[in-house]
Amino acid sequence: MGKKKLPYKEGDWFGVPLEDGGYAVGLIARSRRGGKALFGYFFGPRRSRLPNLNDIRDLTMADAILIGRFGDLGLYTGEWPIIGHSEPWDRNAWPMLPLIRVDEFSKKAWKVEYSEDDPSLIVQETPCDAKEAYRFPRDRAMGSGAVELRLMKLFSSSSQKEEGGPVGSPPIPQSRSRAHAGRKARIGDAGRRMRESGSGLET
């Protein structure tokens, strides 16, 4: 029996349902062959209904409120519905950005570059200073549930800027709300699936 065909592909737009109401929007900018490890862009504002392609066709990378690597469980199960595909799909318009890894104890930072064809594969890692670290998103690989929690946190804050910040800035704390409790089992399943695949993603 052959492998099940993935229900998504690079260049697909999708909705992210939020437990506290509404939807965020995401775009798959890079996908590993066989799936599981993805890189993408996520957008506000919170929408009361799932948008169509016409509603989001003018979005650009500059509009993103969250950028990073994430797992595919929500897409794989259909919980994150596909909105449509970017036609024509242009990788150059949606680059695989370097990500910043920070040691919170030493306050040292590294710029991490991942493979264009495998968001779980590091191709280069170089030290960087605080000024450069502020330019790029943090390297926080996220399971589907973690993406939802981060988006809800961003929507509930006064600012919807993409997560990041200077070296040493504290990470956004994980919510201990009912939304977190309700997704605990699913996030765990996502983590196990990604660890088994060798994707290196964390929840």
- Mean residue pLDDT of the chain comes to 82
User: Residue range 114-130: average pLDDT?
Assistant: 96
pLDDT at residue 155 above 90? Answer: yes
Selection from 106, 119, 98 nearest residue 29 by Cα: 119
Walk across the sheet containing 66-71 and list its strands. Answer: 66-71, 37-47, 23-31, 12-17, 82-85
User: Residue range 91-108: average pLDDT?
Assistant: 93
φ, ψ for residue 189, nearest 5 deg: -60, -40
pLDDT (tens digit per residue) in 26-66: 999 999 999 899 999 999 999 999 999 999 999 999 999 99
pLDDT at residue 194 above 70? Answer: no
Residues sharing a CB contact under 8 Å with residue 1, sequence separation 6 or more, in sequence order: none
Query: CB–CB of 66/154 below 8 Å?
Result: yes
- In this prediction, residue 78 has a pLDDT band, given cuts at 50, 70 and 90, of very high
Which of helix, strand or coil describes residue 40? strand
Which of helix, strand or coil describes residue 28? strand
Q: What pLDDT shows up at residue 139?
A: 96
Query: CB–CB of 16/25 below 8 Å?
Result: yes
- CA 127, CA 130: separation in Å to the nearest integer? 10
- In this prediction, residue 21 has a pLDDT band, given cuts at 50, 70 and 90, of very high
Longest dimension (CA), the chain: 52
Q: Provide the 8-state DSSP code for 91.
A: G
- In this prediction, residue 3 has a pLDDT band, given cuts at 50, 70 and 90, of low
Let me know the angle formed at the C-alpha of 31 by 53 and 66, rounded to the nearest 5 degrees: 60
φ, ψ for residue 122, nearest 5 deg: -80, 130
Q: What pLDDT shows up at residue 2?
A: 54
pLDDT (tens digit per residue) in 156-177: 984 444 444 433 333 333 333 3
Query: CB–CB of 126/157 below 8 Å?
Result: no
pLDDT at residue 106 above 60? Answer: yes
